[in-house]
């Protein structure tokens, strides 16, 4: 697969909750490969229990582990993700979310991304849900 990543030209902010490194790019263009659409993932563990109650970082990491399981089953890696949509209960937790995402995504393969704050999830203790689109192989 041929992929071109269009990085951010400069940081979102010099200080405050939106400062620091982020785990997304302005855009991603691909040629070839198979599209994989990953449904929105909550922080459910192997026993279908919500992990990290009240902890945005822990829930984000569990969500990303769940995304990785789908990628593994499809023969992909986090580098293959070209787009994510992130739904959060509290957008002021932006830094915790991006710190976890920076552990997951390769700096040269950051996906395009949208983050929105919502009022509720299907599980009352969920803080974050992420869906993804990946392009796997050529």
Tens-level pLDDT at each residue, the chain (138 residues): 687 787 777 777 788 877 788 777 778 878 888 999 999 999 999 999 999 999 999 999 999 999 999 999 999 999 999 999 999 999 999 999 999 999 999 999 999 999 999 999 999 999 999 999 999 985
CA 96 to chain centre: 12
| Ramachandran category for residue 133: left, alpha or beta (phi over 0 → left; psi -120 to 50 → alpha) | beta
Q: Could you tell me where the DSSP H helices lie in 19-134?
A: 56-74, 94-104
pLDDT of residue 128: 98
Q: Could you tell me the domains of the chain? A: 2-136 (3.30.1330.40)
């Amino acid at each position: 697969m041929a992929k071109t990543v269009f990085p951010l030209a400069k940081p979102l902010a010099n200080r405050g909750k939106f400062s620091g490194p982020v785990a997304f790019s302005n855009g991603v263009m691909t040629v070839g490969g198979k599209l994989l659409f990953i449904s929105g993932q909550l922080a459910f563990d192997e026993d279908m229990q919500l992990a990290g109650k009240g902890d945005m970082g822990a829930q984000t990491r569990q969500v990303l582990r769940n995304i990785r399981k789908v990628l593994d089953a499809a023969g992909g890696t986090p580098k293959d993700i070209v787009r994510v949509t992130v739904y959060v209960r509290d957008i002021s937790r932006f830094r915790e979310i991006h710190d976890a995402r920076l552990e997951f995504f390769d700096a040269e393969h950051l996906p395009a991304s949208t983050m929105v704050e919502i009022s509720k999830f299907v599980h009352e203790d969920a803080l974050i849900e992420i869906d993804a689109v990946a392009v796997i192989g050529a």
